[in-house]
């Protein structure tokens, strides 16, 4: 056969070209391009000399680890040395040490931990499939999530019996993760949260907890179980038992249950009508919604009082969630609405505040007024509790809390000041010398520093001496005492749900027969015959008036002493304002521990965080010394400028509130961060600005309004137009008190099985101790005997 010379050359060139392509390993496996130096340039997410290995998904790493010697330099570079630029896996380079802490311009970067890593550093990559083999306890395509707990009894947490879950993930089987096949097996993730909860991210769980915000690096990575009603534990595998009141606790005192007040008020008589529903939260936090409840301005419909309608609707809720309840009501003026108070006698403990649903028909309100305006509100008149921090009774003494006002017209007596609206008296008159000694001994130390205690009683007075340049005054101090008072047993059949009240107390040596001053009222009684006789309970916890600054301790213009060589300097308190029927306090200072941790000297500033306790009492806190013309006006003033008489203060402000949230919001159009700015709001009404960016939220709405004002040095004019021309009332005036409980003297009296039995967490049934019976073991019965768990019926017999 004869060939043309040109054909031979063409064939030869083609052959040589084929040999050249064959020099790249495995022809780049069909997943890359063969380039110079016989090197493969792999397609995206393929790697290896022949591009036969797959790159697994990257995710934010749970932990950062050095990557090792990536550039074969025989050494591992530090965190700022970028190597292997233009590589297959890291086209922009990476570091061999920990994550890079500077950008290309050399600027220092913060929060660079938890950088992206293959399989999030919690799994091994199956290069054959490009799938992550997650380590036990992690799942997701990049092992980016922590697995929610499960009750599966297998060697790989999160795995279980097939066919019982619609969620699947990749699990590491223990074989080699490199170059092998079938090393990562797909297994069903069964029975997450034991089938009694929902697996959620930590960000979602925080949002469900009073709308808190979680923004740390693992907000979408750390997972947890949100348990269903009646279940608890990390995997929701345990059942709760019914909670009750310890029957031995109420032998000595009363239980503080929840009293909630609801108000519907129209501006015009006879205009209110419609229906609404109540959302009730039990002690586990589960919500229950009633049927529609009709309402009218007269407080009754078809001769059925509104209280009866509400009570019936609540008792109808399933599973006996509300076993008993009491209701009292009053009609507002002439057919302008109703205010009623619910006492949850069958639901002890600290309950979340109930809510009203006035939109039963979509977006249209179902409670309305034919003319005028409608006002509604909800607040906890008495906040229920599960733990008593005031469990020590002061033996040998009973007291009465009396308003320091005239009986004829309730006008304030001379020298009544903010923080001292009332005083403690004996059952029939002033405290005797013996009673005073007993009370001092019971009160004891108030500031965790026994070195500054006084007198034989070894106690703190809780007072502060302050001066304004004209005179000296005894005022409530940085560390007042706190007491709980409980009505004595006056008759047979004593009600264990009789409410108690908390009071802030301090000692004024100059107030004859009224030395034990009380900041807040529990009634309008100003004569012993009008007041209720009370037992006194004290605490080893510490109450601290909140403030900030550099002073050693809160005080207004204190005299020159060793700890205050300059003298005359005034401490700045942390004050707030709030509206009635809300739980949001606007403070003049950022109290969060994140931004302003407690000062090195804890006697001045203490920060606030979720779970802390506060006293927010109505003590007629007011503006500074209006019109006094003093050189150094005392913080809050020395006169009750905001309370005309002793009927003005709220009588139910003696509650312990729990902080649910502390945060800041951006400044708005009516905001300011300058508390003392003085403006003329008569000439320019828009000039009014408030300090409203620092917020504390608590677990219950307030039943009174905390006023705005200028407690440092208010306008030197009485209320009226003149004051408004010198307006500087842009912070609150309510002084806040931080309460730190002490384990000694505290007792949890509301608990599962009432502290008188064991909870069988497998079936949620109480196994009562001998001598106790009932579904919650709260009933004492001398014949009751505990049935052992291995007995057939596992129940109490009598």
Q: What are phi and psi of 457, to 5 degrees?
A: -70, -10
User: Is residue 619 within 8 Å of residue 517, measured between CB atoms?
Assistant: no
- From the list 294, 331, 300, 332, the residue with the least C-alpha distance to 313 is 294
- Token pair, residue 32, equals 């890359």
pLDDT of residue 132: 93
Query: d(Cα 309, Cα 317) in Å, to the nearest integer?
Result: 13
User: Is residue 253 within 8 Å of residue 485, measured between CB atoms?
Assistant: no
Longest dimension (CA), the chain: 139
Query: d(Cα 236, Cα 230) in Å, to the nearest integer?
Result: 9
Indicate the SS3 state at residue 549: coil
Quickly count: other Cβ atoms within 10 Å of residue 229's Cβ.
14
> CA–CA distance from 228 to each of 160, 196, 238, 285, 287 (Å)?
21, 5, 11, 10, 11
Query: d(Cα 110, Cα 128) in Å, to the nearest integer?
Result: 37
User: Is residue 640 within 8 Å of residue 412, measured between CB atoms?
Assistant: yes
User: Is residue 705 within 8 Å of residue 578, measured between CB atoms?
Assistant: yes
User: 473 forms bridges with which residues in the sheet?
Assistant: 466
User: What sign does the CA torsion over 668, 669, 671, 672 have?
Assistant: positive
Indicate the SS3 state at residue 634: coil
DSSP code per residue over 397-432: EEEEEEESB-TTT-PBPTT--TT-SEEEE-SSSSPP
How do strand 708-709 and strand 272-281 relate by DSSP bridges?
unpaired
pLDDT of residue 335: 93
What length is written for the chain?
Answer: 798
- Token pair, residue 669, equals 């159009």
pLDDT along the chain (798 residues), means of 10: 45 43 83 92 92 94 84 80 82 78 74 86 92 90 89 40 36 40 47 89 91 89 92 92 93 90 96 97 94 96 96 96 96 94 96 96 93 96 96 94 96 92 97 96 91 91 80 88 92 80 96 96 95 96 86 57 43 88 94 83 81 96 61 72 90 96 84 63 68 93 89 53 53 92 92 96 94 94 65 41
Among left, alpha and beta (phi > 0; psi -120 to 50; other), residue 227 is beta
User: 279 forms bridges with which residues in the sheet?
Assistant: 289, 355
- From the list 15, 43, 45, 8, the residue with the least C-alpha distance to 28 is 43
In 526-540, which positions are buried (b, 16+ CB within 10 angstroms) versus exposed (e)? Answer: beeeebeebbbbbbb
> CA–CA distance from 640 to each of 416, 469, 741 (Å)?
7, 19, 31
pLDDT of residue 709: 76
Indicate the SS3 state at residue 693: coil
User: Is residue 701 within 8 Å of residue 353, measured between CB atoms?
Assistant: yes
Helix (H) or strand (E) holding 339: strand 337-343
> CA–CA distance from 790 to each of 758, 786, 794 (Å)?
14, 11, 7
**Whole-prediction pTM:** 0.84
- Token pair, residue 120, equals 């999030």
User: 199 forms bridges with which residues in the sheet?
Assistant: 225
Indicate the SS3 state at residue 313: helix
User: Is residue 628 within 8 Å of residue 471, measured between CB atoms?
Assistant: no
Query: d(Cα 410, Cα 132) in Å, to the nearest integer?
Result: 77
User: Is residue 184 within 8 Å of residue 126, measured between CB atoms?
Assistant: yes
Per-residue 3-state assignment (H helix, E strand, C coil) for 738-758? EEECCCCCCEECEEEHHHCEE
DSSP code per residue over 362-404: TTB-SEEESSS-EEEEEEEEE---SEES--EEEEEEEEEEEES
Query: d(Cα 573, Cα 585) in Å, to the nearest integer?
Result: 15
User: Is residue 7 within 8 Å of residue 1, measured between CB atoms?
Assistant: no
Burial of 725 (0-12, 13-18, 19+ CB in 10 A): middle
Q: What are phi and psi of 495, to 5 degrees?
A: -80, 115
User: Is residue 623 within 8 Å of residue 641, measured between CB atoms?
Assistant: yes
* Long-range contacts (CB closer than 8 Å, 24 or more residues apart) made by 310-319: 310/278, 310/340, 310/342, 313/277, 313/278, 314/278, 314/280, 314/290, 314/342, 316/290, 316/291, 317/280, 317/288, 317/290, 318/288
221-248 confidence digits (pLDDT tens): 999 999 998 999 999 999 999 999 999 9
Residue with tokens 């990390």: 234
Burial of 752 (0-12, 13-18, 19+ CB in 10 A): buried
Query: d(Cα 769, Cα 777) in Å, to the nearest integer?
Result: 8
User: Is residue 540 within 8 Å of residue 745, measured between CB atoms?
Assistant: yes
Burial of 153 (0-12, 13-18, 19+ CB in 10 A): exposed
Domain residue spans in the chain? Answer: 39-101+112-120, 123-238, 257-382, 390-538, 547-607+617-735
User: What sign does the CA torsion over 439, 441, 443, 446 have?
Assistant: positive
User: 337 forms bridges with which residues in the sheet?
Assistant: 265
User: Is residue 394 within 8 Å of residue 538, measured between CB atoms?
Assistant: yes
In 416-440, which positions are buried (b, 16+ CB within 10 angstroms) versus exposed (e)? Answer: bbbbbbbbbbbeeebbeeebbbbbb
Q: What is the DSSP letter of 526?
A: -
Query: d(Cα 739, Cα 615) in Å, to the nearest integer?
Result: 7
- Token pair, residue 626, equals 């209006």
- Token pair, residue 485, equals 């008072």
In 378-393, which positions are buried (b, 16+ CB within 10 angstroms) versus exposed (e)? Answer: bbbbbbbbbbbbbbbb
């Amino acid at each position: 056969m004869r060939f043309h010379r040109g054909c031979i050359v063409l064939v030869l060139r083609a052959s040589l070209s084929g040999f050249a392509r064959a020099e790249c390993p495995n022809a780049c496996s069909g997943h890359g391009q063969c380039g110079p130096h016989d090197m493969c340039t792999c397609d995206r997410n393929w790697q290896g000399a022949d591009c036969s290995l797959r790159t697994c998904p990257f995710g934010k790493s749970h932990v950062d680890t050095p990557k090792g010697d990536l550039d074969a330099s025989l050494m591992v570079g530090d965190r700022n040395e970028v190597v292997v630029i233009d590589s297959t896996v890291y086209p922009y380079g990476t570091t061999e040490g920990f994550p890079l802490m500077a950008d290309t311009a050399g600027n220092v970067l913060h929060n660079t931990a938890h950088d992206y890593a293959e399989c999030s550093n919690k799994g091994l990559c199956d290069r054959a499939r490009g799938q992550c083999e997650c380590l036990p306890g992690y799942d997701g395509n990049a092992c980016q999530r922590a697995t929610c707990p499960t009750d599966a009894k297998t060697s790989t947490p999160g795995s279980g019996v097939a066919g019982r879950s619609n969620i699947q993930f990749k699990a590491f089987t223990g074989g080699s993760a490199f170059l092998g096949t079938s090393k990562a097996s797909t297994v069903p993730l069964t029975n997450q949260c034991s089938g009694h909860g929902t697996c959620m991210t930590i960000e979602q769980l925080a949002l469900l907890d009073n709308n808190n915000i979680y923004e740390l690096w693992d907000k979408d990575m750390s997972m947890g179980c949100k348990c269903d009603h009646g279940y608890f534990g990390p995997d929701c595998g345990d059942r709760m038992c019914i909670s009750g009141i310890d029957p031995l606790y109420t032998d000595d005192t009363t239980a503080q249950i929840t009293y909630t007040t609801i108000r519907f008020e129209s501006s015009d008589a006879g205009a209110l009508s419609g229906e609404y529903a109540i959302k009730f939260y039990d002690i586990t936090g589960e919500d229950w919604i009633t049927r529609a409840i009709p309402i009218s301005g007269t407080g009754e419909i078809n001769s059925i009082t509104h209280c009866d309608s509400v009570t019936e609707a609540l008792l109808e809720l399933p599973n006996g969630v509300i076993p008993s309840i009491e209701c009292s009501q009053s009609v507002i003026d002439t057919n302008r609405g109703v205010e009623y108070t619910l006492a949850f006698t069958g639901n002890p403990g600290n309950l979340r505040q109930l809510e009203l649903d006035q939109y039963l028909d979509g977006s249209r309100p179902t409670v309305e007024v034919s003319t005028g305006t409608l006002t509604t509100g909800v607040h906890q008149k008495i906040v229920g509790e599960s733990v008593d921090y005031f469990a020590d009774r002061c033996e040998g003494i009973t007291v009465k809390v009396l308003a320091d006002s005239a009986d004829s017209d309730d006008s304030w007596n001379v020298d009544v000041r903010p923080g001292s609206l009332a005083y403690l008296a004996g059952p029939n008159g002033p405290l005797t010398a013996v009673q005073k000694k007993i009370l001092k001994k019971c009160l004891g130390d108030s500031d965790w520093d026994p070195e500054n205690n006084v007198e034989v009683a070894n106690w703190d007075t809780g007072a502060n001496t302050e001066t304004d340049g004209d005179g000296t005054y005894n005022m409530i101090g940085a560390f007042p005492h706190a007491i709980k008072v409980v009505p004595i047993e006056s008759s047979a059949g004593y009600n264990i749900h009789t409410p108690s009240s908390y009071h802030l107390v301090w000692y004024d040596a100059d107030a004859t027969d009224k030395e034990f001053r009380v900041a807040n009222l529990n009634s309008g009684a100003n004569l012993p015959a009008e007041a209720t006789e009370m037992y006194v309970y004290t605490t080893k916890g510490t109450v601290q008036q909140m403030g900030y600054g550099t002073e050693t301790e809160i005080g207004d213009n204190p005299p020159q002493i060793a700890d205050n060589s300059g003298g005359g300097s005034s401490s700045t308190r942390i004050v707030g304002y709030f509206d009635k029927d809300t739980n949001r306090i606007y403070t003049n200072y950022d109290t969060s521990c994140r931004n302003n941790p407690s000062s090195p000297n804890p006697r001045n500033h203490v920060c606030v965080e979720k779970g802390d306790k506060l006293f927010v009492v109505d003590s007629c806190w007011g503006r500074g010394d209006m019109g006094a013309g003093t050189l150094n006006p005392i913080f809050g003033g020395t006169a009750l400028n905001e309370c005309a008489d002793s009927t003005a203060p709220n009588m139910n402000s003696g509650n312990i509130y729990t902080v649910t949230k502390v945060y800041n919001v951006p400044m708005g159009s009516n905001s300011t961060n300058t508390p003392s700015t003085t403006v003329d709001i008569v000439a320019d009404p828009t000039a009014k600005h408030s300090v409203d960016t620092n917020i504390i939220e608590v677990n219950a709405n307030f039943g009174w309004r905390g006023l705005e004002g200028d407690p440092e040095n208010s306008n030197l004019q009485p209320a009226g137009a003149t004051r408004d021309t010198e307006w500087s009332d842009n912070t609150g005036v309510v002084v806040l008190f931080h309460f730190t409980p002490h384990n000694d003297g505290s007792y949890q009296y509301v608990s599962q099985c009432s502290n008188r039995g064991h909870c069988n967490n497998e079936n949620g049934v109480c196994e009562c101790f001998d001598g106790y019976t009932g579904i919650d073991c709260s009933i004492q019965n001398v014949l009751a005997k505990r049935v052992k768990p291995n007995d057939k019926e596992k129940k109490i017999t009598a």
